[in-house]
Structure 1
Amino acid sequence: MENRFNLIDEPWIPVADYGRVSLRQIFTHNEYRSFGGNPVQKIAVLKLLLGIAQAAVTPADEAEWQALGAEGLAERCLAYLEQWHDRFYLYGEKPFLQMPLVEKLIEERMGKKLASAKSGAKKKEAELAGEPKSFGAGFYPDMPSSNNTMLSQTLFDQKLCDADKALFVVSLMNFAFGGKRVEADMKSLGGKEIGNRYSAPAGPSLGGRTGYLHSFVFTGTLLSDLWINLITQEDLEKTMMWADGVGIPLWENMPVSESCDLVNEYKNTYMATLVSMSRFSLLRDHGIFYLDGINYPSVKDGWFEPSLMLDRSGQDIKPKYVNPEKRPWRELESLLSLAFESKSNGYECMFLRIGLERARDRFEWLSIWSGGLKVSPNSGDQSVKQEDDFIESQTWMHESILGAVEFSQLKLEMNCLDERASCLWGSAVNYFKSFKADNGKKINNTHAGKMAKQAQNLFWQLCERDFQVLVNNCNQSESDAIERQKLRKRFAGYVNQAYDKFCPRDTARQLDAWAKCRPNNSNYLQQET
């Protein structure tokens, strides 16, 4: 096939305020601030760029990393892309992160089915099985199932442009959904028999359950973000998680099957966490051939990515999952604790630990970004249902917030907000229990518990709009103390607003219960800030 649409030259990466840009533009323009797209696309593209950066240069230690700088990193990456320019074509003899051999497997399977077909309907079925799969809506790294429920026009099948296809392939490598939507009823490239009900495991960055939460330190420009999150050889040795070091990216040396020697070596490198290959795919016409690819261990079995939040304090390693009901900004103080505590009893994140240590001494402003996708598992399949959704949270802070006094102030304010949320929940529960409904049931399964939970969720949604202001006013000046007191009045108002929304006072009986159970915010407002 003709080599065309080179990712180095063609615009395909969504960048805020600029639209689509190419890989060369990413490393040429230092004014780009952040990625566009959904959170999974942002993480996938960032991982790819970090993979390019690590392949271009991996500093020996912090001193070499400091001397490199963001501009030095960009120069090395541009030179690397020039060297490997022919490996970044989306279409051609060596399509980027794709496996041309899968088309032969599809053709062989179609030939066998056609030969055994006894009717015209069976022949038509065999021919359809040889066609590429649809991308669906294109914003999930997955194929649509045949019985998808269409809730809006955004979920209908879309014809993707080449830029969107490139973004889809890159997202698919790390975040493919687990399930039965891969091609089956054939032999894999490695000779493994794949039955017609085969279920492929999820991509390693998504995880086999409900979706991992990923976190990074950002600084305000994409080039600086890549530099801040660049791992040194010293970091790799301290971590002791990748026996074969940085590794060689797949576009330099593609595997021939899911179980070849190259794959076994690659899974033990840091590069595998940046650019996985959880699906063997090939773009064709307006669709894609889509087979299971390299299978990776779970976090419980030893898989490690620097962007994951992992709790190693117990017998089993526990990752933090995406939770749309508890957005990451609510845990900012626990994330920032990595800058103060060399060893944590709870969740740890390698990128946050290294990034905060670097950024606090070199940037006046920094941010913590967290995001991911919540999915629902069901008998080996993963899909987006009901309350599942993308989430992302980014909080900017002055470097002074990493001071001990300012950090303590933030912890105090967050603890107070947690207390207000608990008070609201208790008040709403008592309101509904006063009508003597749902007696004898566990409170979370009762109408009272469900309504109290909704009130609590509304409270946190209202607080989120003012959280950035709270973070900006955690210094110990008099003006900051005055601003925090104003914010407390506003947060107390949100408690009452959420209570009034879900606890009506239309009848005399409701009014009596509403007055008796109304949240008391007096101590919160009188407490010194």
Structure 2
Amino acid sequence: MTSPAKEFNLVDEPWIRVLTPSGTAEVSLQEVFARGAQITGLAGESPTQDVAILRLLLAIAHRAAEGPNSFTEWGENWNNRTNLLVAVDEYLTRHRERFDLRHPSAPFYQVADLHTSKNAMSPVSKLVGDIEAADAIFVHRAEAGLTGLPWAEAARWLVHLQAFDYSGIKSGAVGDPRVKGGRGYPIGTGWGGQLGVVNLVGGNLLETILLNMVVPDSATRITSVTDLPPWERPPLTASEELEMANGPRGVVGAYTWQARRVRLAGDATQCTSVLICNGDKLTPQNRMPIEPMTVWRYSEPQTKKLGYPTYMPRKLSAEKAFWRGLSAALPQRPLDGAKEGTSGGRPPGIIENFQVLRNNYILDWQGAVPLQVTGLEYGPQDAIVVGLLHDQLDLPLAAFGETAEQVASLVDESLNLADAVGMIIGRLAQNLYQAAGGDKETSDKPRDAARARFFAEMGREFHKWLPTITGEDEDESVQWVATVRRTALKIRDELVADVGTQAYKGRQVGDNYVDVGLALAWFGAALKKLVQVEQ
């Protein structure tokens, strides 16, 4: 590596940005666990960076605890946290050498002798993110003319890169047989980029780590002997790691998957350049046993292609916010599209884990259950980043108890109602647009804008309503219906207020005459059918 011999060891160098009651700070791996009860949460440059680092911390915790392999063990860790902290400290000390970011032969998350045929390196901005994307989410760094990063920040972005790097052509590493003409051809995004990552949130960072430590299903349990992170395996080379050709052996492997081969270079104070090449490819089909931090959807096309029931991670989309499909993440509820003889989908393993812990009185949790969801949205061929998606919902405790099925049904029905009303809001916007002189062929834009406005308001209402429901009170449904109706009428009035006088005169559109009065009448009739109220 073109860097000083002095180490930068993540075990004891402060590099993880955290939020404390007194503000933000940078802490080392040892500190982040030792002070975890006093740390509110992670506070890096982006939510995706935070969740990538959280998954790294989870891998360390799982390996240090050598489990948990049973719910009893999980409860022991929760009730006696000192034991886990001691185990983590001993584990980090034991493997300290492999956490050196500038190690001469085995640098953390890198390949020491990685190089291209031309010995080319890229600007350090490539480590930060796709700042050239049309919707550049890290553009603030570009504005600073990014020429170097402190090693602490470079470490954060390195962890992020392995989890969320976009696909596309990469530098061709010497020694990688997949390289053609000096180029590494696309193998997909980092593993985190293929997911909509969900995680439970505790009262402090240590609780967050514990809540997301899952007990493996007995039918798919993978022993700690085989589920090893990269720092417990031989140092990587430029080529694919053949031992991992079939994918991760467990959650530790998934959380630390090396999708890229990387080399950082710089001086004593900062990282100034980076080389990013293809690493290990990971396909998403049926990875439920090793990936508990995402919703899994049943895929009919993949099932037909492969010849057996196949599930895919539910990725995030700006077009449809996560809350609108929340019922898929709740226990005891199949996803929409379930086929006879198959499950429509599966909630995240962390949700199922939490349900077992609570129902077996291992975890005495009171109040709502905070759930965060994080992901990147990519453009064509996943070759650019077009958006960052992040949200937090407070799940009702009843979703994990005796009325879990009723809660899931209520949520499902409520979301279906919102979707249906969103459709007629869109049709109203189209009719008003055409009444004002707009072409039918271009009416999709006002339709989509009106629907987006409606769902933005409904999202705020849903976030308030969700933690209050129990599944036992009919008034909960009545309250939601009233909220949907009130919001729909508000958007209706706003849409009408925006149209000009031409829309009141109306005009012939195809076989129909359209004006404001008729558009409102059609809307009112459709809304009445859905919410059963007089207009």
TM-score (norm 2): 0.78
**1:421–1:495 Cα contact (<8 Å) kept:** no
Match 1:306 to one of 280, 287, 292 = 292
Deviation at 1:178, TM superposition (A): 1.5
CA distance, structure 1, for counterparts of residue 488 and residue 136 of structure 2 = 41
Residue matched to 2:17: 14
1:367 aligns with 2:370: yes
Look up the match of 2:320. 326
- Partner Cα separation in structure 1 for residue 468 and residue 371 of structure 2: 17
Deviation at 1:429, TM superposition (A): 2.6
Question: Which one-letter code corresponds to 1:13 in the other structure?
Answer: I
Q: Give the partner amino acid of 2:113.
A: L
| Other-structure match for 1:46 | 54
The correspondence for 2:488, drawn from 492, 496, 500, is 492
Q: Which moved more, 1:147-156 or 1:59-68?
A: 147-156
Partners of 1:503 and 1:205 lie apart in 2 by 47
Q: Partner residue of 1:422? A: 423
Matches within 5 A, 1:108-257: 109-110=117-118, 130=119, 132-136=121-125, 139-140=128-129, 154-156=141-143, 157-158=145-146, 159-180=148-169, 182-184=170-172, 187-188=174-175, 190=176, 193-206=179-192, 211-232=194-215, 234-235=216-217, 237-239=218-220, 247-257=227-237
Amino acid across the alignment from 2:43: G
Q: 1:256 to 1:218 in 2, by over 3 A?
A: closer
How far apart, CA to CA, are the structure 1 residues paired with 2:154 and 2:494? 43
Shift of residue 424, structure 1, vs aligned partner: 0.6
Q: CA deviation at 1:499?
A: 3.2
For residue 48 of structure 1, report the CA deviation from its aligned partner.
0.4
- Tell me how far 1:456 sits from its aligned partner: 0.2
Deviation of 1:168 after TM superposition, in Å, equals 0.9
Partners of 1:420 and 1:174 in 2: CA distance? 37
Partner in structure 2 of residue 126 of structure 1: none
Equivalent position to 2:392, from 391, 394, 402: 394
- 1:27 shift after superposition: 1.1
Instruction: Tell me which amino acid in the other structure corresponds to 2:94.
Output: Q
Distance 1:489 1:31, change over 3 A: farther
The separation in 2 between residues aligned to 1:243 and 1:151, in whole angstroms, is 39
Question: 1:121 is matched with which residue?
Answer: none
- Counterparts in 2 of 1:491 and 1:95: CA distance versus 1, 3 Å: same
Aligned twin of 1:67: 76
- Return the alpha-carbon distance in structure 2 between the equivalents of residues 421 and 336 of structure 1: 23
CA contact (8 A) 2:196 2:373 kept: yes
Q: CA contact under 8 A between 2:167 and 2:383: conserved in structure 1?
A: yes
The answer on 1:294 being equivalent to 2:279 is yes
Equivalent-residue separation in structure 2 for 1:256 and 1:152 (angstroms): 32
1:484 shift after superposition: 5.1
Post-superposition Cα deviations, 1:407-454, rounded to whole Å, max 9, x if no partner, equal 444334323222221221222233334568646xxxxxx322221111
Identity, in percent, stands at 20
Q: Deviations over 1:68-100 (max 9, x none)?
A: 226143332222122222322222334221211
Partner-residue secondary structure (3-state), 2:232: coil
Query: Would you say the 8 A contact 2:178–2:184 is kept in 1?
Result: no
1:473/1:481 contact within 8 Å kept: no
1:280 aligned partner: 261
- Quote the residue 2:34 is aligned against: 28
Matched residue type, 1:492: A
**C-alpha offsets along residues 80-137 of structure 1, whole Å, 9 cap, x if unaligned?**
12222232222233422121111xx34xx34xxxxxxxxxxxxxxxxxxx45311327
8 Å CA contact 1:12–1:21 kept in 2: the answer is yes
Deviates more, 1:340-349 or 1:41-50: 340-349
Distance, in Å, in 2 between the alignment partners of 1:288 and 1:73 is 37
Equivalent position SS for 1:239: coil
In structure 1, C-alpha distance between the alignment counterparts of 2:506 and 2:225, rounded to whole Å: 66
Contact 1:177 1:203 in 2 (8 A): yes
Q: Which residue of 1 aligns with 2:511?
A: none
Per-residue Cα deviation, 1:450-502 (whole angstroms, up to 9, x for no partner): 21111101111122222221113324569968965774464234432563476
AA at the equivalent of 1:96: F
CA distance in 1, matches of 2:345, 2:497: 36
Distance in 2, Cα, partners of 1:99 & 1:172: 14
Alpha-carbon displacement from aligned partner over 1:141-200 (angstroms, at most 9, x marks no partner): x5869x9999965434423222210111111122222122x322x632x56654234324
Mark the CA change 1:338 to 1:409 in structure 2 (over 3 Å): closer, same or farther.
Answer: closer
Distance between the aligned counterparts of 2:372 and 2:210, measured in 1? 16
The correspondence for 2:379, drawn from 370, 376, 380, is: 376
Shift of 1:326: 0.9
C-alpha contact 2:435 2:516 (8 A) present in aligned 1: no
Q: CA deviation at 1:371?
A: 1.7
Alignment-derived partner of residue 123 in structure 1: none
Contact 2:435 2:503 in 1 (8 A): no
Q: Which amino acid aligns with 2:326?
A: L
Aligned partner (choices 424, 441, 446) of residue 451 of structure 1: 446
SS in 2 for 1:311: strand
TM-score by length of 1: 0.79
Kept after mapping to 1: 8 A contact 2:435/2:502: no
Label 1:169 to 1:431 Cα distance change in 2 as closer, same or farther (>3 A).
Answer: same
Distance in 2, matches of 1:527 and 1:32, equals: 49
Structure 1 stretches of 5 or more lacking a match?
111-129, 440-445
2:111 maps to 99
Q: Which amino acid aligns with 2:196?
A: L
RMSD (Å) for aligned C-alpha atoms: 3.7
Once the two structures are TM-superposed, the CA of residue 62 in structure 1 deviates from its matched residue by 1.3
TM-aligned CA distance change 1:91 to 1:154, over 3 Å? closer
- Tell me, yes or no, if the aligned pair for 2:437 and 2:503 is still in contact at 8 Å: no
Whole-Å Cα distance in 1 between the matches of residues 497 and 460 of structure 2?
A: 18
Question: Structure 1 132/502 Cα, relative in aligned 2: closer, same or farther at 3 Å?
Answer: farther
Go from structure 1 to structure 2 and tell me whether the alpha carbon gap of 1:87 and 1:155 turns closer, same or farther (over 3 Å shift): same
**Could you tell me which residue of structure 1 aligns to residue 350 of structure 2?**
351
What is the CA–CA distance in structure 2 between the aligned matches of 1:395 and 1:373, rounded to whole Å? 18
2-side partners of 1:62 and 1:153: how far apart? 45
* Residues 455-470 of structure 1: pairs in structure 2 closer than 5 A: 455-470=450-465
